[in-house]
Amino acid sequence: MVRTTLRDSIGKLIEVLGSEETEKIIEYIVSTSYEETIDKKDISYLRLRSNKSFETHKIIMLLNHYHKYLLFTEEYIATQLDQINEEHRNHRKSKDQESTVDLKFFSFKAEQKRLQTYFPNILRTSLFIALCSFLEDVIKNGINSHKSNHKFKKLEEKGNVESAKIILIKEIKIKDIEKLKWDYFINLFRIRNDLVHNGGKINNSRKVDLEAYKISKDENEYLVLSKEALDFIFKESIEFIEQFSSLVIMDL
Query: Are the beta carbons of 154 and 163 closer than 8 angstroms?
Result: yes
* Residues 89-117 pLDDT 10s: 887 777 655 555 677 788 888 999 999 99
pLDDT band of residue 37 (cuts 50, 70, 90) is: low
Q: What is the pLDDT of residue 113?
A: 93
* Residues 180-195 pLDDT 10s: 999 999 999 999 999 9
Long-range contacts of 120-123 (CB under 8 A, 24+ apart): 120/74, 120/77, 120/227, 121/225, 123/70, 123/73, 123/74, 123/77
- The tally of domains found in the chain comes to 1
Q: What is the pLDDT of residue 131?
A: 96
Residue 29: which domain range? 2-249
Query: Are the beta carbons of 73 and 81 closer than 8 angstroms?
Result: no
132 or 44: which leads in pLDDT: 132
39 or 109: which leads in pLDDT: 109
CA dist., res. 79 & res. 195, Å (int): 27
Query: Are the beta carbons of 121 and 195 closer than 8 angstroms?
Result: no
Query: Are the beta carbons of 14 and 54 closer than 8 angstroms?
Result: yes
